[in-house]
Amino acid sequence: MRARNIWSFKLAVSMAFLALLPTLTAQNMTVNSTSPMDQPMWLVQNVMVGPNMTVFSPIGPLGTPLSQPASVQLGKFNINNPSFGLDSGIVMVSSNAFDVVPGQSGTYTSYPTQTPSANLTTVLSAIGSSSSTQYDRAGIQFSFVAPGDSVKFDYVFASKEYSSYTCSSFNDVFGFFLIGQGINGAPMWNSNGTPNIDTVNLAVIPGTTTPVAVNTINQGFPSGSWPASNCLTANPNYVSNAVYYNANSGGTSIINMEGFTDVFTARASVSCGALYTIKMFICDVSDGALNSAVFIGARSFELPTISLSQAWNQGNSFNDSTVVEGCSPSWLYLERQGAVFDTMVVDFNILGTATSGLDYSPFPPSVTLLPGVTRDSIQIWAYDDGLAEPQETIEVVMQPVSTNCAVYPAQYKTFLIRDKVEVTVNASVAQGNDTLQCPGQQSILLGTFTAGEGNTSGWWGTDTTGGVQLTVNPLGTETYYFYGIDECMDSAAVDSVTIYVLPYDSVMTYSDTTWICPGESVEIKAEARYGTPPYTITWTGGPADSLWTVTPSSSRWYNFKVVDQCGFITRDSVWVGVAPTPAAAFTYLPNPSNPLNVQFNNQSSDTNYVAWYFGDGDQSADVNPVHSYSKPGTYYVSLAVADSLGCADSVTVPIELRMDYYVYIPTAFTPNGDIINDRIKVEALGIEGMQWEIFNRWGLKVYSSDDLAESWDGTFGGQPVPEGVYSYRLMIFLPFGNVTEQHGTFTLIR
């Protein structure tokens, strides 16, 4: 026995009083267990069963309907809280029915004077309970002839044991026992021809055969000091199955229980037309304390139906209860919960203001569900016709469907079609102007996009990052496009803005090449045109001005930079050449026959300008002049030269002219009859006489003369002498009786 308070029977007066209590309310839950809402068959027929099902009281052993007395453990509940999952239905409690209302406390206790339920004993064995003593049992039984191939109903299990007896060695127990032939595909008949009657507990964890109980569905760990092994024995997956559990500590929220399960569906396959009985029991185990309850959903026991459901604009992010033109498709879903092994043809009639094939994709006249197929769908595309129209309707009417077991009633669904909200885009200049004076000048553009369906986005065509602001620096007139699109558009809406750039000619610079003489200064100038004035001119290493006076020591470039109002930079330079200083130089040669006649030869590096100063007061501008002096003496001759730039130099050389004797004999002559250099003679000054003798190579004298005016024509004895080298001897008679002798050679060339 578990150590918890054992409830005592109360006086009959108290029992009668409790049975006559009106509906009790706490927070958002009510329970009514006054007559007839305490009668099992009334509750089944009027609360649990849907409109297309017929149930009746089971036939007892004597062939008469089973008598099921009213019980304060039964009632009708209503809950105005979606967190619970059920809004109304039947409640069965192992105490007074209103014990599930927060703030109430039931006092009903029935010691185990009843015959224990063998079905519940089987469940206790399945969950490994150490006790099979049943207290406070509540029950409902009913029969029905299956009008389809499956049955189902919804329920929630709750218990006060969750706070302290999770994973204990015993639990309160309940079960929904379906009794009959062919359950879940079992044979209808035994091999000997007798009916194959099965009993199946429908109160099991989804997808398993494990009964729903405190030790099988809970918070995933024991209460108090109870070992987890008891839960593992009952349900090896009890930790992962904790997802089905809802804690309700203290029983002050929603219901007066420490915890409750999610909404489960008790379901089973049956054989159409066969007779079945359902027994629903709940009881305390071991004692009558810490009660449990099961809530059965109103109208949840019904003939499996064909259901129509809708989904709008699937694939779009927005939620809408209308079909939006041009957006993702909407759907009509058809699903059957019964007759799944029949071939079922579902016919439709389409009404409404919208036109199939014009306003939306053609709707099929029927859908065929082949055996085993439980679900199908019809796609509805609303065409974006670009017309502004009021809402249109599609009325889908499913015609009644007949099967071997049942007739499924007609149903209808309405789809509303509305125009798509178009995306509006706008491109504008946010900062700056749409007309720019200079190429590359900045403007900031702003794109906006509004309206549209669902998620919308906008972007500039030149910026794939998707920002709505775009900074541009066009070099010429350019149009920029802003795009906007929503989830339903195949192509983006577009707007544009044009940035105009005024015509622009690049800055051009010009300057002259300048030559100066060494040591001179010159003003150089940087000039520009075109572009956008005014200009800013800066010399490298010099002033920020168009003019600069420079004194270079050698030829060089002077670099400058021009920046116009648009900020464009042009670079150029001015060449200043430093001309080399001309070097003045000359040689001179007195005439051999008259030393006072002097030939001057200009040896200067530049003879663009020449000025001779002969030292006797005469001047000349000839490059190589000949000047005659009147008498011997020393003269200071100056030569001044200048180049084309005016760079000048001069030199002064003293020359001495004397009138001593002078004798000159050429070194060669050519007596060939061309009148040029045909004769050879002695040139002499300052002598009184001479004796000139010429000898051939063998010493034969071929010519002699004592007359300075005579010359030799290269003949001997009237015949030309041969080419070759000839020697001479010259006796020179000087004043005052002085005599001198000169020897030499010359070459005769024919």
Would you list the domain boundaries of the chain? Answer: 12-297, 306-418, 427-501, 508-578, 586-657, 662-748
pLDDT at res. 176:
98
pLDDT at res. 576:
93
CA 182 to chain centre: 61
Place of tokens 């127990």: 173
State pLDDT tens for residues 245-287.
999 987 777 899 999 999 999 999 898 889 999 999 999 998 8
Cβ burial of 631 (10 Å; 0-12, 13-18, 19+) is exposed
pLDDT at res. 110:
66
Domain at 586-657: CATH code: 2.60.40.10
Give all strands (DSSP E) within 84-133, no chain letters: 88-93
Q: Which residue has the higher pLDDT, 490 or 601?
A: 601
Structure tokens at 215: 């030790």
pLDDT at res. 15:
37
Q: Could you tell me the fold of the domain covering 508-578?
A: Immunoglobulin-like (2.60.40)
Q: Is residue 424 over pLDDT 70? A: yes
Question: What is the arithmetic mean of pLDDT over 166-191?
Answer: 95
State pLDDT tens for residues 217-235.
999 999 989 999 999 999 9
Number of alpha carbons in the 13 Å side-chain half-sphere of residue 197 = 9
Q: Is residue 436 over pLDDT 70? A: yes
| Domains 306-418 and 508-578 alike in fold | yes
pLDDT at res. 292:
95
Q: Cis before residue 211, ω within 30 degrees of 0?
A: no
pLDDT at res. 114:
72
Highest averaged pLDDT of the listed ranges 309-323, 508-522, 690-704, 727-741 = 690-704
Please, what is the end-to-end C-alpha distance for the chain in angstroms?
A: 167
DSSP string covering 260-288, please? EEPPEEEEEE--TT-EEEEEEEEEEESSS
Question: What is the arithmetic mean of pLDDT over 307-329?
Answer: 89
Q: Is residue 6 over pLDDT 70? A: no
Q: Which residue has the higher pLDDT, 613 or 457?
A: 613
* % the chain with pLDDT above 90: 64
Q: Could you tell me the fold of the domain covering 662-748?
A: Immunoglobulin-like (2.60.40)
Residue 10 — pLDDT band, cuts 50, 70, 90? Answer: very low
DSSP string covering 6-44, please? PPPPPPHHHHHHHHT---EEETTEEEE-STTTT-HHHHI
- Give the integer Cα–Cα distance in Å for 39 and 70: 4
- Give the integer Cα–Cα distance in Å for 647 and 584: 11
State pLDDT tens for residues 594-604.
778 899 999 99
* Listed residue (57, 89, 71) closest to 300, CA to CA: 89
Q: Which residue has the higher pLDDT, 632 or 706?
A: 706
Q: What is the b/e burial string over 170-191, where b = at least 16 CB atoms within 10 angstroms of the residue's CB?
A: bbbbbbbbbbbbbbeeeeeeee
State pLDDT tens for residues 562-606.
998 888 899 999 999 998 888 999 999 988 767 788 999 999 988
pLDDT at res. 106:
63
- Number of C-beta neighbours around residue 475 at 10 A: 12
Place of tokens 């009334």: 42
Measured between alpha carbons, how far is residue 432 from residues 436, 441, 471 in Å?
A: 9, 9, 10
Q: Which residue has the higher pLDDT, 606 or 129?
A: 129
Q: Could you tell me the fold of the domain covering 306-418?
A: Immunoglobulin-like (2.60.40)
Q: Which has the minimum average pLDDT: 119-133, 414-428, 592-606, 698-712?
A: 592-606
Structure tokens at 122: 């089987």
Helix (H, G, I), strand (E, B) or coil at 293: strand
Question: What is the arithmetic mean of pLDDT over 298-308?
Answer: 86
pLDDT at res. 22:
39
Mean pLDDT for the chain? 89
Residue 172 — pLDDT band, cuts 50, 70, 90? Answer: very high
In three-state form (DSSP H/G/I as H, E/B as E, the rest C), the secondary structure along 130-197 is: CCCCEEEEEEEEEEEECCCCEEEEEEEEEECHHHCCCCCCCCCEEEEEEEEECHHHCCCECCCCCECE
Q: 626, 598 in Cβ contact below 8 A?
A: yes
Q: Which residue has the higher pLDDT, 436 or 406?
A: 436
* Listed residue (156, 128, 142, 104) closest to 285, CA to CA: 128
pLDDT at res. 5:
37
- Residue partners of 508: CB distance under 8 A and separation at least 6: 528, 529, 530, 531, 570
Place of tokens 């029991």: 281
Q: How many H-runs (helices) and E-runs (strands) does the chain carry?
A: 4, 56
State pLDDT tens for residues 70-93.
999 999 999 999 999 999 999 999
* Listed residue (85, 94, 90) closest to 55, CA to CA: 90
Q: Which residue has the higher pLDDT, 440 or 613?
A: 613
Residue type, 332: L
Structure tokens at 626: 């000949």
